Chains A and B, each alone.
Chain A
Amino acid sequence: MVPRILQELESESIEILRETAATFRNPVMMYSIGKDSSVLLHLAKKAFYPSPIPFPLLHIDTTWKFKEMISFRDRVVAECGAKLLVHTNQAGVDAGVNPFTTGVSEYTRVMKTVALREALDKYEFDAAIGGSRRDEEKSRAKERIFSVREPGYKWDPRNQRPELWQTYNTKLSAGQTMRVFPISDWTEADIWNYILQERIDVNPLYFAKDRPVVHRGNQLIMVDDDRFPLQNGEQPEIARIRFRTLGCYPLTAAVESTATTIEEVVEEVLQVKLSERATRLIDGAGEDSMEKKKSEGYF
């Protein structure tokens, strides 16, 4: 049954990607280096084959990504031949905004949300394709596939366009932009099953390896470079860990694991009964943090 579910999901996603390429003046695909982005990129290759992917990729670099993320990004993008745009909120960097002392909400707003808005303004993109899934979080469950952003990239969840059948309204009025979510209906298990089936290249951080970590509360945080401020008497120890989701390294917790192949990761994912976002520090802050962030322009 799994291959058939995947085929139906794949077809639906490809249809959405083609619709986006055909109807927008200047679309862009968000590339965040994670597994969902890897799947999205793979789907985009398939949707337009044998033509190249007809839109550029955009990575919002907070400068706090894992080192292995950046090297993976550059390798994968070079292989697929798509154009990669990288944008960082330089004002934020100059002001010393960081995930340790700035406060998570403010850090996210400046280095992710504001950075994204800057990039969309700079390149005048009218549609941004993202890899969000409805199973990730409650407010995402109510997202449209083609989701309008009002001027200033604001999301008004109470004023969304009705979306019926698979008949998509991709029209924009002045000042509006679109967010497009081709893998809305996929679950985390689907993503991994698809990666396994299609043998998609995913980041090495998803596989278990001995890495330096510190314990913070219930969470395991990897010490990726010497910018990580250790607490008094804290000493990184080596543990066999992997990541369920990838983000900024001080804000993304690892899980102890021995899964070193895609097969083993899939097996583990299907057994673990915790939500993915349990390992994301940034979402724990308040129950509705996602809806609030999204209203401000976050993906």
Chain B
Amino acid sequence: MEKAIVRLLTCGSVDDGKSTLIGRLLVETDSVPHDTIDSTRTMRRSGSTIPAGEIDFSLLTDGLEAEREQGITIDVAYRSMTLLDGKRLIISDAPGHEQYTRNMAVAASRADIALILVDATKGVRTQTLRHLTICSLMGVSRIVIAINKLDAVDYSQKIYDQILAEVQKAAQRLGVTDTQPIPMSALAGDNVVHRTEMMPWYSGPTLLEAIQGWKRTEVINDAARLRIQIVSRATDFRGLAGTVVNGDFEVGDAVEIFPSGQKAKISQILSGNTEVKRAINSLAATLVLEPEVDATRGDIVLKAGQSVDATDRFTANIVWLSEDELIHSRSYLLIAGSSQSPAVVTKIRHKFEINSGVEEAANSLKMNEIGSVEIATDSALALLPYKDSRLFGNFILVDRLTMRTVGAGMFDHSLRRGSNIHHQDYEITQTERALAKAQSAQVIWLTGLSGSGKSTIANALEKKLFIQGKHAYVLDGDNLRLGLNKDLGFTPGDRAENVRRVAEVSKILSDAGLIVIVALVSPFEADRREAKALFTETKFHEVFVNTPVDICQARDPKGLYAKASRGEIPNFTGVGQDYEVPTDPELVLDGTAELEVNVNKVLSLISE
């Protein structure tokens, strides 16, 4: 269903005439109280050339004292007006000044239409491109390009066409398709609400017509979701309260709870205190389920049959909002609706050069910068790509000390892909393959510091197994980094990916019936736990090779500690980064003990 409230974002800089334009739009649609209009006939900014008695439209939208002193709008302000077709228009007035990019992102986050002002006397400027970039990134679906102050260039069609060609070229490059250009003069009132006779060469809509003509349609499919805000309890009543997103729920619908996976049917829907049969998109509803399920705030009610891409590793675009720059590996609090989780930015892939949208390499994000990052969260989230669902694709990052909102995030894709790929069952099973080799498939995962002796133990173990006629294979971390993993560095994010890949390869080899011996530093408990979780049917043995770091450094078989201490390998485990000792390994080997002793210990583990 089409929405009754339309949100318009206006962007432009101090002197593009934006305040005047909004002021005129409000006055000419009779959306401003008359005593408020009267006050703008007498009040004047210093330097104003508007004669006393005339309305200074720009005074209607500048709110804060400081702003009036400086003659600029420094914060997002909201204004309501009623369109001629009865719809409500909420205007978010975003400041155009360079340092206030974050305010524009705020205003754009809920906007349906963006109005970008270009001063015809100045042409396309850097900020015009910046506005286009931000609107495109924040998912504003329609953009009206208001080429203003045509009165100051003798209503020249040539100038208008030149500017338009330049804007459209930039829009195309950014992939913005739905644009509506309008030549106008906010000061003279041309093509704002009333059609002008000064530009007979223009036959397109006025600004008001362009806004009214736009139809906001929600994508309605079977993907209805509701994030539980509160569980409403009363005598013989237990309802799950939240706002319906991405579709409708009906009484009788089969639903599933994320993350528990419990299934139920909707037995009753409340809209406020009224029972309804259907909860439409964007309604604040309370759902009663049959049978009752165990669900709490932050859980999601999904219409059954949706595939949920629950993820704790994903890529996202981030607008950085804080004066303290984004710190890689620092833990922030991620809030997505009523769900939240500690989160770490594991990698900054690149930042967008905001004036052109071009990607650039980056190590950090400063205030007002936008970048593409990889994020790891403690608990899995069920987000949707931002381009498909703004409401289920957004999140914010909060500084855990000051509690300020420091980042605005837009979910891109999960780094654990595969939810859309269905598993193809092989006709020959792992058991059959292993039996043919007279063994059982298993994985021995040796973890420990570099130089602790993992590779030595792995090789000796493989040799013994080979002599016994077993089929085994060693996956050595260093060897894999020469090929499969040569694109990865040593940041926590890259290390996590390194472990994930090695675990996946181990799984393939074990499915082939092999005994897999992994020798990998794998310093983080969380990564190892995830590796282990891949193996539900195969035996997985976590073996911790425990060797004091000073001995590892003294051994330094590959010269890595020396390199790291010279600063050549940042984040090297034991030098720049900690090694998390396994909390519950199946076997701990003393890395300083006899090789033979250690190998036999592992062998007895396998044959058990």
Contact = CB atoms under 8 A, between A and B. Distances in A.
A98 to B, nearest CB: 28
A45 interface: yes
Contact of A169 (B65, B106, B335, B390): B335
B110 A165 contact: yes
Interface in A30-73: 45-51
Interface in B97-112: 102-103, 105-106, 109-110
Interface in A135-192: 135, 138-139, 141-142, 157-158, 160-169, 171-173, 176, 184-185, 187
Given A141-B77, A171-B398, 6 more contacts: A10-B284, A22-B230, A163-B106, A169-B335, A171-B333, A173-B402
A138 B23 CA distance: 13
Interface string A250-277: 0000000000000000000000011100
Contacts of A10: 272, 284
A126 interface: no
A4 B216 CA distance: 14
B403 A162 contact: no
Interface in A3-40: 4-5, 7-12, 14-15, 18-19, 21-22
Interface of B: 3-5, 30, 33-36, 43, 62-66, 74-80, 85-88, 90, 102-103, 105-106, 109-110, 229-230, 232-234, 237, 239, 241-243, 270, 272-273, 282-284, 286, 297, 321, 333, 335-338, 390-391, 394-396, 398, 401-405, 408
B114 to A, nearest CB: 15
Contact of B396 (A7, A45, A46, A164): A164
Contacts of A14: 272, 284
A118 interface: no
A158 B103 CA distance: 12
A157 to B, nearest CB: 6
B33 A5 contact: no
Interface of A: 1-2, 4-5, 7-12, 14-15, 18-19, 21-22, 45-51, 134-135, 138-139, 141-142, 157-158, 160-169, 171-173, 176, 184-185, 187, 273-275, 278, 287-288, 291
B391 A185 contact: no
B321 A288 contact: no
A12 to B, nearest CB: 8
A275 B405 contact: no
Given A46-B272, A167-B394, A8 B5 contact: yes
A141 B273 contact: no
Contacts of A7: 4, 283
Nearest to A160: B75
A291 to B, nearest CB: 6
Contacts of A12: 284
Given A1-B85, A14-B272, A142-B63, A169 B282 contact: no
The secondary-structure label for the interface of chain B is mixed
A162 B65 contact: no
A18 B63 CA distance: 30
Given A1-B87, A169-B398, A164 B63 contact: no
A13 to B, nearest CB: 8
Report the 10 A-B pairs with minimum CB-CB distance, sorted nearest first. A46-B272, A1-B86, A275-B33, A14-B284, A4-B4, A138-B63, A164-B109, A171-B403, A11-B284, A273-B34
A5 B5 contact: yes
A248 B4 CA distance: 36
A273 B338 CA distance: 41
Contacts of B103: 162
A165 B273 contact: no
A274 B33 CA distance: 5
29 contacts: A7-B283, A8-B282, A11-B243, A11-B284, A14-B272, A21-B230, A47-B241, A48-B230, A49-B270, A50-B234, A51-B234, A138-B62, A139-B63, A141-B77, A142-B78, A158-B75, A162-B408, A164-B396, A165-B109, A167-B395, A169-B398, A169-B404, A171-B403, A173-B401, A185-B80, A185-B90, A274-B33, A275-B36, A287-B43
Given A158-B74, A166-B110, A291-B65, A49 B273 contact: yes
